[in-house]
């Protein structure tokens, strides 16, 4: 873990702070934030001159360093004022942290970059997310530099603290994804769940291979046949909401996916350590619940295993029986994520009376073909729940695009010899086929949305809050917004 965990608050003036870097802002219309205006006046118009010359344009993501009155001052571009949003604030605050690291300055102070304090939480989020680096396997040396502290000058403490906590949860999800498959194993996910449960006073149940096989989880048991690494079925219960129905989040915990007998190509197979990023969303959300302790009932479910080639590995043509009793024809062992999620969704439907179910999975390469590394494909059974997803998507700055689950698509996962098959029509609507399959394992009348995060869990274009070559923790902020945390 290499990131700040807390964000401090101070009422110091810009020339009173002892931070090594001070960050303020300018918009594209050439207007300055209040503290930037103060510094501009005190420096005889240093900022204004740079703007008029054209060196400073105020575009989002832009930054310029000035040296004024013995201070190192970073002027951040904030973009268009009429389009200024929480995401704009996150990106700007993240740029401040990232710039401090690049300049090897271990303390940064940032002006409250909000307009009328509408997005104070985003300042805390951006500072922590921008400080994130994955250095666990780098030999310590002069090139490994970490930010030690960040301070916000003039913001609401509650909002800043909440933002930092949410960003810490995202960073946990990133860490779990970034560790290799020999470290982030199903057992490690169970350990992480225990750490979170202990911190938040939650109930934790972990079923091992013998237990979940005896319970009838044929999807998870089938995929796990090819690995000696102990698989787990993890259930976290955060019950702090009285009699209200629980919200359930299910995450695919495939800690390494070689494809099984339908083996993947060698190129980029190393990236299949990220195939557990759906489970990282669940654990990240529960980390935030443990820290913030909202009045909610939330259940998290993580079916977890590896998918390898072995003497006992399941085979194309095998028939498995899911936890809800439906039989599954296996046509491709590399379409395994939906098999383990099927048992997770069935378990949630049977043992809880959920208000809704959300599931997260790096399920298909097809979603990357459709949406690239720009948005997550979503599909579900309830229009009201889908609208909540879209609203929270905008608030969290995590884009989604709805795919249809029309009956024609659902028919494509019906099998001639079993109830369903784990593939759809050849080379057609692959991401939708995954959702259509999962729908078979969601209880009747339970609102449900499936998130295919394969394009967003890693591989996104780096920016100030998403480092290069890293898991993103995508989805944690969106879910927490949906939960009104």
CB burial string 123-147: b at 16+ within 10 A, e below? bbbbbbbbbbbbeeeeeeeeeebeb
The catalytically annotated residue of 273, 338, 439, 477 is 338
Using the CB atoms, write b or e for 412-450: b if 16+ within 10 Å.
Answer: bbebeebbbbbbbeeeebbbbbbbbbbbbbbbeebbbbb
The residues, any chain, with a CB within 8 Å of residue 202's CB and separated by 6 or more, are: 196, 236, 237, 238, 239, 286, 289, 290
Q: Distance between CA 147 and CA 125 in Å, rounded?
A: 15
Instruction: Decide if 72 is catalytic.
Output: no
Q: Count of CB atoms within 10 A of residue 28's CB?
A: 17
CB crowding 75-100: b at 16 or more within 10 Å, else e: bbbbbeeeebbbbbbbbbbbbbbbbb
Rounded CA gap, 213 and 208, in Å?
8
Catalytic residue among 103, 194, 264, 321: 264
Tokens read off for 7: 């964000």
Helices 337-351 and 430-439 pack at an angle, to 10 degrees, of 30
Q: Give the burial string for 280-289 (b: 16+ CB within 10 Å, else e).
A: bbbbbbbbbb
Measured CA to CA, the distance from residue 43 to residue 14 in angstroms comes to 12
| Tokens coding 471 | 């898991």
Whether 338 sits among the annotated catalytic residues: the reply is yes
Question: Which of the residues are catalytic?
Answer: 264, 338
């Amino acid at each position: 873990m290499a990131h700040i965990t807390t964000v401090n608050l101070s009422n110091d003036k810009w020339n009173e702070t002892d931070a090594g870097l001070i960050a303020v802002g300018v918009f594209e219309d050439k207007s300055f934030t209040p503290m930037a205006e103060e510094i501009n006046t005190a420096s005889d118009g240093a900022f204004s001159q740079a703007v008029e010359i054209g060196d400073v344009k105020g575009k989002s993501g832009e930054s310029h360093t000035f040296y004024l009155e013995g201070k190192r001052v970073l002027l951040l571009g904030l973009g268009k004022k009429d389009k200024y949003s929480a995401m704009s604030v996150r990106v700007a605050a993240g740029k401040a942290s990232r710039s401090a690291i690049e300049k090897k300055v271990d303390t940064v102070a940032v002006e409250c970059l909000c307009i009328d304090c509408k997005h104070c939480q985003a300042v805390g989020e951006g500072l922590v997310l921008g400080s994130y680096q994955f250095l666990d396997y780098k030999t310590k040396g002069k090139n490994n530099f970490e930010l030690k502290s960040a301070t916000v000058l003039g913001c609401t403490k509650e909002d800043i603290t909440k933002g930092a906590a949410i960003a810490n949860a995202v960073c946990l999800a990133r860490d779990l994804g970034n560790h290799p498959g020999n470290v982030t194993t199903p057992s490690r996910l169970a350990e992480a769940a225990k750490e979170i449960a202990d911190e938040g006073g939650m109930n934790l149940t972990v079923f091992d291979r013998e237990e979940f096989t005896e319970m009838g989880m044929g999807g998870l048991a089938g995929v796990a046949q090819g690995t000696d690494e102990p698989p787990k079925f993890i259930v976290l219960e955060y019950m702090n909401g009285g009699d209200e129905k629980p919200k359930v989040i299910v995450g695919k915990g495939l800690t390494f996916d070689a494809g099984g007998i339908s083996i993947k190509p060698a190129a980029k197979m190393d990236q299949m350590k990220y195939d557990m990023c759906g489970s990282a969303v669940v654990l990240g959300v529960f980390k935030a619940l443990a820290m913030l302790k909202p009045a909610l009932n939330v259940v998290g479910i993580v079916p977890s295993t590896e998918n390898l080639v072995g003497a006992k590995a399941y085979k194309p043509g095998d028939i498995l029986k899911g936890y809800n009793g439906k039989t599954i024809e296996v046509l491709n062992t590399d379409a395994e994520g939906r098999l383990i999620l099927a048992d997770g969704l069935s378990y949630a439907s049977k043992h809880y009376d959920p208000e809704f179910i959300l599931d997260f999975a790096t399920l298909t390469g097809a979603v990357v073909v459709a949406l690239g590394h720009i948005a997550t494909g979503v599909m579900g059974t309830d229009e009201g729940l889908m609208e909540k997803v879209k609203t929270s998507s905008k608030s969290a700055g995590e884009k989604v695009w709805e795919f249809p689950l029309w009956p024609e698509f659902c028919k494509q996962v019906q099998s001639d010899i079993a109830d369903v098959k784990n593939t759809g029509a050849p080379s057609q609507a692959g991401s939708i086929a995954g959702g259509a399959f999962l729908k078979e394992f969601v209880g009747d009348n339970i609102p449900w949305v499936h998130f295919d995060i394969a394009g967003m869990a890693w591989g996104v274009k780096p920016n100030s809050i998403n480092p290069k070559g890293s898991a993103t923790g995508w989805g944690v902020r969106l879910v927490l917004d949906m939960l009104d945390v």
